[in-house]
Structure 1
Amino acid sequence: MFHKKKALSKKADTTIGSILLTGPVPPEQLETLVMHDQLHAFRPPLKQLEALKEIAALEEGRIFIALHNETIIGYVTYLHPDPIERWSTFKMENLIELGAIEIAKEYRGLHLGSKLIELSVSDPFMENYIIISTEYYWHWDINETKLSVWDYRKIMEKMMNAGGLHPEPTNDPEIMAHPANCLMVRIGKNVSEEDRQLFDKLRFLND
């Protein structure tokens, strides 16, 4: 179902100069780039670059990146939810997950995360999709930022809001495991009422 259009690009003028935001990027373009050594939240940078290539090669996979001097300094990923997760229960082709977002530490504070998400949903084709992001406090680099759980949650929520994602209730046990956890959702304009109702059922599975 996913339709890969020509990449969108936008320049962000920041205090350290111009940064290129672009995507969705194909695997072959990622082959020509290097990852900033501070992009290690999920796995070492080289291995994370390999993971991005694998996602970019998926039919529904989309990778948006922030580039500074031909170095990837940030990225956001979109793909179908993991088959073992509850969000794949109904195998909804038009349900896609904002799976990961990461900005190199020295580039934080430039609002690049918000700008990447904003760019990624500016493609009109994204209006066909329900986008979710599952936010778990144990995935946040709270120790490195020295922020409280609640301050970090505010930052994450504001960043997701830039792309039109907002908190929605759910009975998912992992989300309910801590009050700072949340399910963020954006429902595209072209999503049918039937699929909206199916997604509501998914949010409150077995209730």
Structure 2
Amino acid sequence: MIHTKTYYQIEVDTGNDRLLLEGPVTSEDLASLDFHEDLTAFRPASQQHKALIEIADLPEGRVLIARLEQMVIGYVTFLHPDPLERWSEIKMDELIELGAIEVIPAYRGASVGKNLLRLSMMDDAMEDYIIITTEYYWHWDLKGTGLNVWEYRKIMEKMMSAGGLQYYATDDPEISSHPANCLMARIGKRVKPESIQKFDQLRFMNRFMY
């Protein structure tokens, strides 16, 4: 199931600047832009820039960005789950993962992440997908924000809810390893009941192991 990726853009006034939020962007567009050196939550900025270019080239891959002129200061990605993760154990073309969302520290608190998620869901094609995100506390910038895990999780839940994602229970061992970790998902309006059933099987695989 490969859908046309409909491009959207919005402007966000942060009080100091006007940011352009746009996407899904092409790999060529991404390659032509500068990538802020503070986008290091997952890997060094230059490597993350390269990774986003590769994601944008995937048939299902979507990268939406926030930029100040030619400088990318935030992004969100969507792609099929990693083949090594539980979420790929049942082959589902209609299951995509919100793989990463990041905004540089200077623009946190300006609703950039929320607006990137809202922009992502403007595309009607998203109604054909189950979108998941796995939130692990060890990915969170607790040191930089000074928040504890519960305060940070509350912020993450609020941001994800802007994109229509909500909490779903699971027995996934990695998520279950800490009570602050969680699975969130958005089930599109046109997702078939049998696909929802497969998703439920993925969420609770351990019950079938006995």
The correspondence of residues 151-170 of structure 1 with structure 2, limited to 5 A, is 151-170=151-170
Q: Please state whether the residue corresponding to 1:31 is helix, strand or coil.
A: helix
Tell me how many residue pairs correspond in the alignment.
Answer: 207
Counterpart residue identity of residue 168, structure 1? Y
User: What per-residue deviation string (whole Å, max 9, x for no partner) do you get for residues 99-134 of structure 1?
Assistant: 000000101110100000111011011000000000
For 2:130, the equivalent position in structure 1 comes to: 130
For 1:143, the equivalent position in structure 2 comes to: 143
**Whole-Å separation in 2 of the counterparts to 1:48 and 1:196:** 32
User: What per-residue deviation string (whole Å, max 9, x for no partner) do you get for residues 19-70 of structure 1?
Assistant: 1000000100011101111111111111110000000011110000001121
Unaligned segments of structure 2, at least 5 residues: none
Counterpart residue identity of residue 132, structure 2? I
User: Does the 8 Å CA contact 1:4/1:24 hold for their aligned counterparts?
Assistant: no
Q: Please state whether the residue corresponding to 1:5 is helix, strand or coil.
A: coil
For 1:176, the equivalent position in structure 2 comes to: 176
TM-score of the pair, normalised by structure 2: 0.97
User: Does the 8 Å CA contact 1:27/1:57 hold for their aligned counterparts?
Assistant: yes
**Whole-Å separation in 2 of the counterparts to 1:5 and 1:83:** 23
For 2:89, the equivalent position in structure 1 comes to: 89
**Whole-Å separation in 2 of the counterparts to 1:69 and 1:93:** 35
Q: Please state whether the residue corresponding to 1:12 is helix, strand or coil.
A: strand
- CA-based RMSD: 0.8
Unaligned segments of structure 1, at least 5 residues: none
Q: 1:6 Cα shift?
A: 3.6
Over 3 Å off, 4+ runs: none
For 1:114, the equivalent position in structure 2 comes to: 114
**Whole-Å separation in 2 of the counterparts to 1:198 and 1:181:** 22
Q: Please state whether the residue corresponding to 2:206 is helix, strand or coil.
A: coil
**Whole-Å separation in 2 of the counterparts to 1:31 and 1:102:** 18
**Whole-Å separation in 1 of the counterparts to 2:193 and 2:44:** 42
**Whole-Å separation in 1 of the counterparts to 2:96 and 2:6:** 19
**Whole-Å separation in 2 of the counterparts to 1:63 and 1:27:** 9
TM-score of the pair, normalised by structure 1: 0.98
Counterpart residue identity of residue 119, structure 1? L
For 1:2, the equivalent position in structure 2 comes to: 2
**Whole-Å separation in 1 of the counterparts to 2:2 and 2:177:** 33
**Identity score, percent:** 57
User: Does the 8 Å CA contact 2:4/2:125 hold for their aligned counterparts?
Assistant: no
